[in-house]
Amino acid sequence: MTMPAAVSRPGPSGRLAARLLIGLAVVLTIGFIVVPVAVIFAQAFARGFGPYLASVTERDTLRAIGLTVLVAIIAVPVNVLFGLAAAWAITKFEFPGKKFLLTAIELPFSISPIVAGVAYILVYGSNGLLGPFLEANDLRIMFALPGIVLVTMFVTSPFVVRELVPLMQVQGSDQEEVAATLGASGLQIFWRVTLPNIRWALFYGVVLCTARAIGEFGAVSVVSGHVRGETNTLPLQVELLYHDYNAAGAFAAASTLTLIALATLALRAVIEQRLPRTGRVGH
Partner 1 sequence: MSIDIQGLVRQFGDVQVLRGIDLSIPRGELLALLGASGSGKTTLLRILAGLDWPNAGSIHVDGQDWLALDAQRRRAGFVFQHYALFPHLTVADNVAFGLTVLPRRIRPPAAEIARKVSALLELVQMGEYGRRFPSQLSGGQRQRVALARALAIDPEVLLLDEPFGALDAAIRKDLRSWLRTLHRKLGTTTIFVTHDQDEAFEIADRIVVFGQGRIEQAGTPDDLYERPASPFVARFLGGVNEIAAELRQGRFRVAGADAAGLERQVGGDGDVTLFVRPHEIDLAPGPDGEAVIEAVVPGSVSMRYAVRLPGQDVPVDVEIPREIARGRQLAAGARVRVRLLRGRIFGQAARNTTLAEQSLAASAL
By the rule CB under 8 A, 129 interacts with partner 1: no
CB 217 within 8 A of CB 236: yes
By the rule CB under 8 A, 168 interacts with partner 1: no
Q: Which of 71, 153, 193, 211 binds partner 1 (CB under 8 A)?
A: 193
Min separation Cβ 97 and partner 1, Å: 16
What count of residues does the chain have? Answer: 283
Side-chain half-sphere exposure of 140, counting CA atoms within 13 A? 6
Nearer to partner 1, 127 or 181 (CB): 181
Among 251, 229, 250, 255, residue whose Cα is nearest residue 240: 250
Nearer to partner 1, 103 or 185 (CB): 185
Per-residue x/- mask for partner 1, residues 170 to 189, rule CB under 8 A? ----xx-xxxxxxxxx--x-
Nearer to partner 1, 31 or 196 (CB): 196
CB 165 within 8 A of CB 204: no
Min separation Cβ 81 and partner 1, Å: 22
In angstroms, how far is the first alpha carbon of the chain from the final one?
A: 40
Min separation Cβ 232 and partner 1, Å: 44
Q: Cα–Cα distance between 152 and 155 in angstroms, integer?
A: 5
Rg value, the chain, Cα: 24
Q: Cα–Cα distance between 85 and 78 in angstroms, integer?
A: 11
By the rule CB under 8 A, 96 interacts with partner 1: no
Nearer to partner 1, 93 or 245 (CB): 93
Min separation Cβ 177 and partner 1, Å: 5
Q: Which of 23, 196, 263, 272 binds partner 1 (CB under 8 A)?
A: 196
Side-chain half-sphere exposure of 71, counting CA atoms within 13 A? 36
Q: Which of 43, 126, 169, 197 binds partner 1 (CB under 8 A)?
A: 197
Return the axis-axis angle of helices 98-110 and 145-156, rounded to nearest 10°: 120
By the rule CB under 8 A, 192 interacts with partner 1: yes
Q: Cα–Cα distance between 113 and 104 in angstroms, integer?
A: 16
Min separation Cβ 176 and partner 1, Å: 9
CB 196 within 8 A of CB 264: no
Q: Cα–Cα distance between 83 and 163 in angstroms, integer?
A: 9
Min separation Cβ 39 and partner 1, Å: 45
Nearer to partner 1, 25 or 182 (CB): 182
Nearer to partner 1, 55 or 194 (CB): 194
Min separation Cβ 178 and partner 1, Å: 5
Residues that bind partner 1 in the complex, under the rule CB under 8 A: 174-175, 177-185, 188, 192-193, 196-197
